[in-house]
Structure 1
Amino acid sequence: MQLQTRTLPAPAGVSAPSRASRPLRLLTFTTLYPNAAQPNHGVFVENRLRHLVAGGEATSTVLAPVPWFPSASPRFGDWARYATIPLREERHGLVLHHPRFLAPPRLGMFTGPAALYVAARAALRRLLAEGHRFDLIDAHYLYPDGVAAVRLGREFGLPVVITARGSDTSQLPHFRLPGRAIRHAIAEADALIAVSAGLKAGLVELGAPEEKVTVLRNGVDLDTFRLAPSPEVARAALGLGPKHETGPLLLSVGHLIERKGHHHIIAALPQLPRHTLLVLGDGPERAALRDLAERLGVADRVRLLGSQPHDRLSLYYGAADAMVLASSREGWANVLLESMACGTPVVASPAWGSREAVRAPEAGLVMDEITPEAIAACVRQLLAAPPSRAATRAYAEGFGWDETTAGQASLFRKVLA
C-alpha cells in the first residue's frame, strides 16, 4: 500500500529503530469522545481506542476539545453541561484533556477548524513541555477535527491519520467552505481510515487515492453486549411488562435528530398494530416525535426513554424483538452489531455500511428505501419467521475487535516506517 510519509526525527531519547519494537505513542485528537458530562458521546471512538491500547500495540493521550461556555446554570439547557466538563479526567485508564474552543451558535460550522486548532495547539505545547512525546496524530472525523489535525501535524512534525465516520463524507462536503477544507485535509493526511467500504467510495469521490484509504470497520464488545437469559427476563428487569401486554417490541437507538429517522418508525406504527416502540436517545427532536405519535394515534405505543448508560443497552436489545435503524446517513452503525450481539435481529436502512454489517438472514433485513411502508413491511417479514437468538448472536461473533485492532496497528506502523 502506498502511503504519504514524512521523514521524522526520532523522539528525544529514542533511536529510530526502536520505534518498531515499542508501543506506538498516539495523540488521539477528536471532539467525538465521551466525558464526565456526556458519557455516551462518541463512545464508538473510545471503544476502538480502548481495544487498541489493551492489546499493547499503543499508548494514547486523548486531546478532546469541548466548546467553551461560561455558566453551568441549568437555565442554559444543553450548553450548560460544557461548563461542567473537567479540563482533565481519566476514563478506562486513558488520560483525557479537554481544552476549550469557541463555538458560536450558527457560526461553529465555519469557525470550528480555526478555533479547534488554536485550542489544541496550546494544549499540545503544554503536553510537550511536560515531557510527553508522540509518534502520530490519530484524528477522528474529517471536519472540523481532521482539518485542525493536519495543521497540528504540519506544525509539530507529526504524521496524521484521519478516520472518516459518516456525515463528514456524505453531507458536510456539500457546503462550499467545509467542502474545500475537507478536500484539503484528505490531500494532506498521511493516511485515511473508512469504517465501511461504502464510506471509502465516498472518500475516493472526494479525491482520495484508493490506496490511501484503509477500510477498518467498527467492532462490537462481545462481553458488554451479550445474550440475556431470555427476552422475558430482560423485559422484567426493565419493568416493561410481558409480551401479551406490549405486543412485539421494536427498538430504535440514536440521537433524536432528523437524520436518525425515528419519525419514520413512528409513522410505520399505524401499519403495525399492537407493536410497541422504545426510543433510546436525547436530542432536539424529542417534542416533535411525541407530537407525531399523538397525531397518528400511537402515543400509547411509543416510549421515549432518553439516553441510557452504554452498559445498560444490552438489556433493551435483549428485550426487543427487532431493532430498527432508519438513519438516512451512517458510516457504520454500531447499534446494528450491538443488537445482533444480544441476539436481536435488525431492520436497517440502506445507509453506508448496512449491507456490509447485515449479510445473512440470521442478522436481519436491509430496506431498499426509508419509508414507513418499507419499515412496516420489513418488520412484518422479519417477525413472521425470526431467526433464533443464538444464530443472531453467532453471526455477531464474527465482528469482534481483533481484526480492526490489528489493522490499526499495521497501518500506523506503515505510516511511520
Structure 2
Amino acid sequence: MNHTRSALRVLCAPAHYFMDGKEGGSEPLWAHEIVRTVALLSSQVVAVTGYVIAGDLPENVRVVSVGGKRGDNFLSAAIAARFVARYSVAAIREFWMMKPDIVHHVLPFGLGQTFNPLLLFLGDRPFVVGPVQGHSYRAHFEQMSLGGVKTNQGATTRAPLANRIAARLGSILTILNTHLLKRADIVVAITQEAADALPDEIERDKVVIIPPGVDTKRFSIRQERSGERLELLSVGYLLKRKRIDTVLRAVRRLLERDREVRLTMAGDGPEREALMCLATELGIREYVRWLGFIPNSEVGRVYREGDVFVSGSEHEGLATAYLEALSSGLPLVLAENSGSRSIAAMGAPARVVQCGDDEAMCRAIMDLAPDRVAVEKERLVAREFVEGRFDWAVIGERYVEAYQAAIKRRDVGHRARRA
C-alpha cells in the first residue's frame, strides 16, 4: 500500500455525534481514528462533530465542534433536532470555505438513523458514506422521546399521537437515508453481512468492505503466566442484549465441573446491579470481579491479565472489544451474532456458540482450559491475525483508497453525462 501523503482535502461531516480518543466507546473511537489516520495520508482534514475528547490528532486536522456533551440522548427529539440544526450550519459553512476534494459522512451506526443536509449542496463533489453496520435503527427512531407519562413501574408511555408521529418520522428518515446511500459514490460496510443488509436500490459495485480498526500498539501479549486458574475476561457496556447472564451461567457450569476459573467483568451499565445479584444467586459471587468503567489508558492492562475473552452478546457488529482482545493475544469464545460470524470466517481464533447456550459456552472454554500449549499458540495467532488486517494504520490507507475510488467513479460518471 502507498504510505505517501496525498493532496486530498477531506471534509468529515458529520464525524459522529462526538469523537472520543481517550475515554472509550466503539463508534466515537472509530470516528476519531478514521479522522486521525486519514489525516496522516491527506493534506487537510476538517471534522464537524458534536464535541470531541481528542487524543493525538495531526496538525493538519481542524475539529469544528457544534456543542453538546457526552451522554446526550439522541433519541430525544429536542436534542437530535438541536444537533441537526447546529451541525447543518457548521457543515455548510465549512463546505463552502474549504472546497473539499471529498466529503465523508462518518457516522458509524446502522441504516436509517441519520440524514446529511450537505446532500443539497454537494453538486458533483465525491461523497463517501460509512462505516455502516448494516442493522436498521428505525426501531430506535420509533422509540424517540416525544413526550409521555410515567407508569407505576417507572416506564414511559406515549400518547397515541406521539406514537404516530414517531412512526411517521421513522418512515421519512428511512426514505432520506436510502437517498443518501444512493447518492454516495462509495458506501463503506464493516462486514459482508453489513453490505448484504444494504437496501436493494444500492449498486453493489460501489460498496467496499472496511472493518473497524484497533491501535495494536496499545496492546501486548502477557509473556509469563503463573497459576492454574483460567482467567476469563468480558468487556462491554452492561445491557440486556449483551447477555452477560449466559457468561455467568457458563462460569457456574465450569465450577461445577471443578474447573479453576475467574471471570473479570470490565464495563458499567444499567444491568450491573441485576447481574451482580444473579452472580450471588448462582453462588459464584467470589469468582467474579466487577471492575466498572475502564478508561482507554488502562484497558490494555486489563486485557493482559486475561487468558480467554468471552462474550454472550446476541447482537454486535465487528465489536472493538473482539479486536482489542485479539491484539492482546486472547482467543475468543463468542455467542453467535453478525460480528462473531464475521470474525470467525476471517480466520480468527474464535469459537462461536449459539446465543444463550451457557452449556455450549462452557464446553468451548473447557476445550481451551486443559491445553496450555494450545492456548499460548492461539495467543500468537490472535496477535498476528489483527496486526495484518485491523491496525488503524492499515484501515486509514483503505479509507484513502476508498476516497480515490469515489473520485474516479464521480469523474467517470461526469464524463459519461457529458458524452
Change (3 A) 1:137 1:343: closer
1:411 equivalent to 2:402? Answer yes
Give aligned-pair identity as a percent.
21
Q: Which moved more, 1:221-230 or 1:91-100?
A: 91-100
Change (3 A) 1:296 1:200: same
Match of 1:304 in 2: 290
Residue of structure 2 aligned with 1:59, choices 44, 58, 62: 44
Match of 1:259 in 2: 241
Alpha-carbon distance between aligned partners in 2 of 1:406 and 1:44, rounded to the nearest angstrom: 14
Match of 2:158 in 1: none
1:229 equivalent to 2:218? Answer no
1:141 equivalent to 2:108? Answer yes
Q: Per-residue deviation at 1:322?
A: 0.3
**CA distances 1:92-134 after superposition (whole Å, capped 9, x unpaired):** 33443332369999882656664432010222355468x4443
Alpha-carbon distance between aligned partners in 2 of 1:192 and 1:231, rounded to the nearest angstrom: 44
1:373 equivalent to 2:359? Answer yes
8 Å Cα contact 1:65-1:98 kept in structure 2: yes
Structure 1: which 5+ runs fail to align? 1-19, 67-84, 233-242
Q: Secondary structure at the match of 1:348?
A: strand
Match of 1:351 in 2: 337
Q: Which moved more, 1:194-203 or 1:266-275?
A: 266-275
Alpha-carbon distance between aligned partners in 2 of 1:160 and 1:26, rounded to the nearest angstrom: 10
1:328 equivalent to 2:322? Answer no
8 Å Cα contact 2:113-2:137 kept in structure 1: no
**CA distances 1:158-212 after superposition (whole Å, capped 9, x unpaired):** 554221443x62453685443552343133231321111111111246x533223
Q: Secondary structure at the match of 2:218?
A: coil
8 Å Cα contact 2:254-2:261 kept in structure 1: yes
Letter of the aligned partner of 1:22 in structure 2? A
Q: Per-residue deviation at 1:249?
A: 1.0
| 1:156-235 correspondence to structure 2 within 5 Å | 157=123, 159-166=126-133, 169-172=135-138, 175=142, 176=167, 177-178=169-170, 180-189=172-181, 190=184, 191-204=186-199, 207-232=201-226
Match of 2:7 in 1: 22
Q: CA RMSD in A?
A: 3.3
**CA distances 1:1-36 after superposition (whole Å, capped 9, x unpaired):** xxxxxxxxxxxxxxxxxxx96123222411152167
Q: Per-residue deviation at 1:375?
A: 1.8
Alpha-carbon distance between aligned partners in 1 of 2:73 and 2:393, rounded to the nearest angstrom: 41
Alpha-carbon distance between aligned partners in 2 of 1:103 and 1:52, rounded to the nearest angstrom: 24
Match of 1:342 in 2: 328
Letter of the aligned partner of 2:178 in structure 1? I
| 1:56-135 correspondence to structure 2 within 5 Å | 56-57=41-42, 59-65=44-50, 91-93=56-58, 94-100=61-67, 108=75, 114-125=81-92, 127=94, 131-135=97-101
Change (3 A) 1:333 1:122: same
1:277 equivalent to 2:263? Answer yes
Change (3 A) 1:154 1:220: same
Alpha-carbon distance between aligned partners in 1 of 2:239 and 2:131, rounded to the nearest angstrom: 20
Alpha-carbon distance between aligned partners in 2 of 1:103 and 1:224, rounded to the nearest angstrom: 24
Residue of structure 2 aligned with 1:48, choices 24, 29, 34: 34
Change (3 A) 1:226 1:179: farther
1:31 equivalent to 2:22? Answer no
Alpha-carbon distance between aligned partners in 2 of 1:302 and 1:373, rounded to the nearest angstrom: 18
Change (3 A) 1:180 1:208: farther
Letter of the aligned partner of 2:287 in structure 1? R
Q: Which moved more, 1:373-382 or 1:92-101?
A: 92-101
Alpha-carbon distance between aligned partners in 2 of 1:103 and 1:112, rounded to the nearest angstrom: 12
Match of 1:286 in 2: 272
Q: Per-residue deviation at 1:144?
A: 9.0
Alignment size in residue pairs: 360
Residue of structure 2 aligned with 1:154, choices 120, 140, 158: 120
Structure 2: which 5+ runs fail to align? 143-166, 409-419
8 Å Cα contact 1:169-1:199 kept in structure 2: yes
8 Å Cα contact 2:112-2:173 kept in structure 1: no
Q: Per-residue deviation at 1:329?
A: 1.6
8 Å Cα contact 2:21-2:29 kept in structure 1: no
Q: Per-residue deviation at 1:374?
A: 2.4
Residue of structure 1 aligned with 2:232, choices 250, 259, 265: 250
Letter of the aligned partner of 1:301 in structure 2? Y
Alpha-carbon distance between aligned partners in 2 of 1:22 and 1:380, rounded to the nearest angstrom: 53
Letter of the aligned partner of 1:97 in structure 2? V
TM-score (norm: length of structure 1): 0.75
Alpha-carbon distance between aligned partners in 2 of 1:104 and 1:224, rounded to the nearest angstrom: 26
Q: Per-residue deviation at 1:345?
A: 0.6
Alpha-carbon distance between aligned partners in 1 of 2:232 and 2:281, rounded to the nearest angstrom: 20
8 Å Cα contact 1:230-1:318 kept in structure 2: no
Match of 1:11 in 2: none
